[in-house]
């Protein structure tokens, strides 16, 4: 088989598996997930050895420290992975849930109920725990999954997939419910995302260039976020102590993630008091500050922010700062330059809260809290398969419900249309 | 401005309008819709004259009778259009509705609430009432709309759009909330569906070739159905009288629509009694029958059905017939050849009902009723903007809720992430 045939064959097998998955009871699925966790626990040594191989190859190929850190598995990280599987087993199963139900005047009973999406492709980089997490989320929602991990984690991923499928098949998981693309190179990804009619959804997770490549090649639906350009807006009526703590947290608690702050907007009425204070604290934490003209009249030694800075996702200890004349101007800035991910206002003014909440066109709009909470776990979803800045189907953190669609089942007694 | 700049400009204006639409109250939107209905009523003569022009040009260009019928407006059809606008005004406004709300242990209050999608493009053919219906559905849901009607209806559509925008602007509808692409040719459609970042959703309505062309060119999300290959399966335990009436209705009540039956599946145990009866009644109504080998042993003068017939959307008085050995075989046939639109089982057997409802992977699965009910009006949604066989975001008839997305608004008291 050539690559095209190989991936096509995986798609066909996944579709068959997705139909068999419909027949598993919630209880059965949970048993499978618990067994998978046990099996991973029992293969810890094998997994650590495979990961060591990946780490060595990564070092030889000059992977960055950040990449190596994401790639590395430890006893405690494997423990977190198996704990995650058991936690997913404990979550409420959304499949079969009636979303709504009504009876028409002609007696037809219309039930709108949750069903699996079908076959889901996941394309991701480095972190091997994604292999276990996303497989578990898909099995819990009765979706077949085709995994495509990064080549840097190939040995670790292979062990994890074997553990999941071996224990799964002993417990009655349909064959090919979890498949893993081994073939190297971008061509395999292209083949996967063009399997129209076989793959129902692709979720790419990784850097912007990976996601853009997937989206441009895809002939199947993709849910994604390209990047997170998140804003904190400090209103004129803000509690400035709160604004300070939220700004520091949003920028510094973990600068490399998509829900960290990239631009700080400050109302001109509080800029003279707030900017010097926040600038000092951010610099103390090693953050490079780039300000617009107005902010540089207040703190003269700021670097100059240029137009590109408003569009920048630094993912690093760099922050763009702009002084704005009103909440409307802040909203306008966010809707123009933002990425529709997560944005927050710090204010004590009800009117400003309302305007900001209604008009900022982002997946998560915060009032007086750090943007760092946009995360399936923090939202109480138990786990997430990714975060969406798309507007259709799923927006923000995606948990179990977001891996389902619905169908209408209509019960009649022979009704025909007049 | 060249065409590219012209359509780009419409997209930018639509995005500005979509933000202004957020500020309209439900009451205000309903007043706008009622005024639009009045305005259309008062321009009836002008509209009939414009439509007569379209009809004459259509006759000169040799449009089919079916096309001309869809194109034609009459006093009563205009009456139905204005009644439709008033009915949409009367529907419950979904925007701002809280879908769910919960409080996290750290005190964060998370509200998941309905918001407009933003800018919606509608691409359609012939029937001028789509111009009024879809505009009203979009305004009701605070979405800006860009319309692209067929060139055969250009004069009628222009009058309708003028009536809607003139009365709208008097009542405070934001400028460019409804825009209409006048430029002829396919290039304008291509430009529209590639407005990434400006157009949030495109809904094409029309023949399969139109929809395929739109989908292949699109760089923005598209919700659609290519076709409706709908099945009626008569189970061995069916009430055969009911099966007869449902089969006749599903095939004959309106053969040219997407939810009409194209293939009849009959369990072998009842084929000898049911097939001759249904064949006689269908032939009486002028339906051409094409059967598989087994069915031609029962009714020998059936035309032969070939593989292509199982994939066919005849949209005409033609029916494919197949004898199957079991409900599982029927489900398998439907999932293999069907279009995931609407399929029905006629049975008195609870087990067969359950299997069919769970395993047929279609937007609407019926038990003992005609497939002809897949329709926003028949489902009680008040109105529909189309029917989806996609699995993401919207499935089946799409009403007001399906024209919304959601955002999370999170209320805090200064929470930061630990």
Q: What share of chain A is helix, strand, coil (3-state, %, to 5)?
A: 45, 20, 35
Classify A341 in phi/psi space as left (phi over 0), alpha (psi -120 to 50) or beta: alpha
Nearest residue of B to residue A350, measured between CA atoms: B411
Alpha-carbon distance of A265 to A235, in angstroms, equals: 8
Note which residues in 92-111 of chain B have CB less than 8 A from chain A: 102, 104, 108, 110
Kindly state the average pLDDT of the residues A149-165: 96
Which residue, among A164, A155, A167, A159, has the nearest Cα to A137 in the 3D structure?
A: A164
Q: Quote the CA–CA distance of B416 and B418 in Å, as a whole number.
A: 6
Residues of B whose CB is below 8 A from A285: none
- Looking at the fold, whether A88 and A193 belong to one and the same domain comes out as yes
**Rounded-to-integer distance, Cα A310 and Cα B70, Å:** 50
Q: Looking at the structure, do residues B367 and B253 belong to the same domain, yes or no?
A: yes
Question: Which structural domain range is residue A261 located in?
Answer: 230-373
Chain B within 8 Å of A221 (Cβ-Cβ)? yes
Work out whether strand B318-324 and strand A144-148 pair parallel, antiparallel, or are unpaired.
unpaired
Domain match, B271 and B354 both: yes
User: Above 90 in pLDDT, residue A184?
Assistant: no
Note whether A209 and A259 are same-domain residues: no
In a domain, B119, yes or no: yes
Confidence of residue A38 (pLDDT cuts 50, 70, 90): very high
pLDDT in tens, A364-386: 999 999 999 999 999 999 889 99
Residue B37 near residue B203 (C-beta atoms within 8 A) = no
- Asked whether residue A103 falls in the same domain as residue A248, the answer is no
Q: Which of A76, A93, A117, A75 is nearest to A33 (CA)?
A: A93
B184 & B255 share domain:
no
- Between residues 246 and 265 of chain A, which touch chain B (CB distance below 8 Å)? 246, 248-250, 253
Q: List the single residue in B242, B253, B392 with the smallest CB-CB distance to A417.
A: B253
- Beta strand pairing call for A261-267 and A230-234: parallel
**Tens-place pLDDT, residues A288-315:** 999 999 999 999 999 999 999 999 999 9
Q: State residue A51's pLDDT score.
A: 98
> Are B296 and B404 part of one and the same domain?
no
Q: A281-299 burial by CB neighbour count: b if 16+ within 10 A, else e?
A: bbeeeebebbbbebbbebb
User: What backbone torsions phi and psi does residue A345 show, to the nearest 5 degrees?
Assistant: -115, 140
**Using CA atoms, how far apart are residues B220 and B192, in angstroms rounded to an integer?**
9
The pLDDT tens digits of the residues spanning A42-59 come to: 999 999 999 999 999 999
The total number of structural domains that make up chain A? 2
Q: Is residue B383 one of the residues assigned to a domain? A: no
- Judge whether A417 lies within some domain: no
Decide if B407 touches A, using CB distance below 8 A.
yes
Tokens of A275: 């900017």
Candidates A102, A248, A392; nearest CB to B201: A392
In b/e form, how buried is each residue of B314-336, taking b as 16+ CB within 10 angstroms?
bbebbbbbbbbeebebbbebbbe
Chain A interface disruption, residue of B235, B412, B413, most A CBs within 10 A = B412
CB contact under 8 A, A364 and B410: yes
Contacts of B242 in chain A (CB under 8 A): 414
| Same domain flag for B296 and B362 | yes
Calculate how close chain A gets to B60, using CA atoms only, in Å.
Answer: 35
d(CA B207, CA B213): 10
Distances (CA, A) of A375 to A260, A370, A388: 11, 12, 11
A72–B contact, CB cutoff 8 A: no
Give pTM, 2 decimals.
Answer: 0.95
Closest residue in B to A339 (Cα) is B197
Mean pLDDT computed over every residue of chain A = 96
What pLDDT does B1 receive? 86
Handedness of CA A81, A85, A90, A92 (dihedral sign): positive
Whether residue B39 is found in the same domain as residue B172: yes
Dmax (CA) for chain A in angstroms is: 79
Q: What is the CATH number of the domain that holds A213?
A: 3.40.605.10
Tokens representing residue B173 in the block: 């509808």
Q: Which of A365, A374, A407 sits opposite B362 (nearest CB)?
A: A407
Q: Is residue A61 part of a domain?
A: yes
What pLDDT is recorded for position B31?
98
Is the domain of A218 the same as that of A240? no
Run of H or E including B266: strand B261-267
Which pairs from A277-284 meet CB under 8 Å and 24+ separation? Answer: A277/A240, A277/A244, A278/A243, A278/A244, A278/A247, A278/A248, A279/A321, A281/A244, A281/A248, A282/A247, A282/A248, A282/A251, A282/A252, A282/A319
Burial of B139 from C-beta contacts in 10 A (0-12 / 13-18 / 19+): buried
Distance separating alpha carbons of residues A155 and A50, to the nearest angstrom:
5
In a domain, A416, yes or no: no
Same-domain pairing of B292 and B362: yes
Q: Is residue A183 very low, low, confident or very high in pLDDT (cuts 50, 70, 90)?
A: confident
Are residues A368 and B118, on separate chains, in Cβ contact within 8 Å? no
The answer to the question of residue A83 being in a domain is yes
Whether residues A369 and B22 touch (CB distance < 8 A) is answered with no
How far off is chain B from A205, nearest CA to CA, in Å?
19
* pLDDT at residue B387, as a whole number: 96
Residue B28 placed within a domain:
yes
Are residues A98 and A180 both part of a single domain?
Answer: yes
pLDDT band at A407 (very low <50, low <70, confident <90, very high): very high
CB contact under 8 A, A365 and B409: yes
From the CA atom positions of chain A, what is the Rg in Å? 24
CATH number at residue A325: 3.40.309.10
Question: Which residue on chain A is closest to B366 by alpha carbon?
Answer: A410
B354 touching A, CB under 8 A?
no
Q: B110 contacts in A (CB within 8 Å)?
A: 379-380
A22, A395, A415 ranked by CB distance to B358: nearest:
A22
Picking from A248, A393, A414, the nearest residue to B392 by CB comes out as A393
Q: What pLDDT is stored for residue A241 in this prediction?
A: 98
Give the pLDDT confidence score for residue A382 in this predicted structure: 83
Share of chain B residues as helix, strand and coil, in percent rounded to the nearest 5 = 45, 20, 35
Q: Contact A148/A188 with Cβ under 8 angstroms?
A: yes
Please state at what angle helix A129-140 crosses helix A26-42, rounded to 10 degrees.
Answer: 160
Q: Is the ipTM of this complex over 0.90?
A: yes
Each of the 418 residues of chain B gets a pLDDT tens digit; together they read 899 999 999 999 999 999 999 999 999 999 999 999 999 999 999 999 999 999 999 999 999 988 899 999 999 999 999 999 999 999 999 999 999 999 999 999 999 999 999 999 999 988 999 999 999 999 999 999 999 999 999 999 999 999 999 999 999 999 999 999 998 889 999 999 999 999 999 999 988 999 999 999 999 999 999 999 999 999 999 999 999 999 999 999 999 999 999 999 999 999 999 999 999 999 999 999 999 999 999 999 999 999 999 999 999 999 999 999 999 999 999 999 999 999 999 999 999 999 999 999 999 999 999 999 999 999 999 889 999 999 999 999 999 999 999 999 999 999 999 9
Q: Is A311 on the interface with B (CB under 8 A)?
A: no
CA distance B128 to B151: 11
- Measured from the Cβ of residue A42, the count of other Cβ atoms closer than 10 Å reads 12
């Amino acid at each position: 088989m050539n690559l095209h045939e190989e991936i096509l064959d995986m798609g066909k097998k996944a579709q068959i598996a997705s139909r068999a998955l419909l027949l598993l009871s919630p209880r059965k699925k949970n048993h499978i997930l618990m067994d998978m966790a046990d099996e991973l626990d029992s293969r810890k040594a094998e997994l650590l050895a495979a990961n060591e191989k990946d780490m060595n190859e990564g070092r030889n190929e000059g992977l960055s420290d950040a990449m190596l850190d994401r790639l590395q598995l430890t006893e405690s990280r494997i423990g977190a992975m198996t704990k995650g599987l058991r936690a997913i087993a404990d979550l409420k199963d959304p499949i079969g849930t009636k979303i709504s139900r009504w009876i028409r005047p002609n007696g037809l009973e219309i039930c709108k109920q949750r069903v699996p999406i079908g076959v889901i492709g996941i394309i991701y980089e480095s972190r091997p725990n994604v292999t276990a997490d996303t497989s578990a989320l898909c099995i819990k929602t009765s979706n077949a999954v085709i995994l495509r991990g990064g080549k840097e984690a190939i040995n670790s991923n292979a062990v994890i997939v074997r553990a999941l499928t071996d224990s799964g098949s002993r417990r009655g998981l349909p064959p090919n419910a979890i498949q893993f693309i081994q073939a190297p190179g971008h061509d395999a990804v292209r083949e996967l995302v063009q399997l129209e009619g076989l793959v129902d959804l692709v979720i790419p997770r990784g850097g912007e260039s990976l996601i853009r490549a997937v989206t441009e090649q895809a002939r199947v639906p993709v849910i994604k976020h390209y990047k997170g350009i998140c804003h904190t807006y400090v209103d004129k009526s803000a509690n400035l102590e709160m604004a300070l703590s939220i700004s520091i947290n949003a920028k510094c608690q973990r600068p490399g993630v998509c829900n960290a702050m990239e631009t700080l907007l400050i109302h001109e009425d509080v800029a003279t008091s707030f900017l010097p204070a926040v600038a000092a604290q951010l610099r103390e934490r090693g953050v490079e500050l780039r300000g617009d003209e107005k902010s540089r009249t207040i703190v003269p030694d700021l670097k100059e922010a240029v137009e590109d800075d408003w569009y920048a996702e630094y993912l690093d200890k760099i922050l763009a700062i702009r002084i704005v004349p009103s909440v409307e101007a802040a909203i306008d800035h966010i809707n123009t330059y933002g990425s529709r991910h997560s944005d927050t206002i710090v204010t004590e003014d009800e009117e400003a809260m309302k305007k900001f909440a209604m008009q900022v066109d982002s997946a998560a709009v915060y009032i007086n809290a750090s943007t760092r909470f946009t995360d399936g776990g923090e939202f109480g979803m138990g786990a997430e398969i990714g975060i969406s800045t798309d507007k259709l189907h799923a927006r923000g953190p995606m948990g179990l419900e977001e891996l389902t669609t619905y169908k209408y089942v209509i019960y009649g007694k022979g009704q025909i249309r007049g």
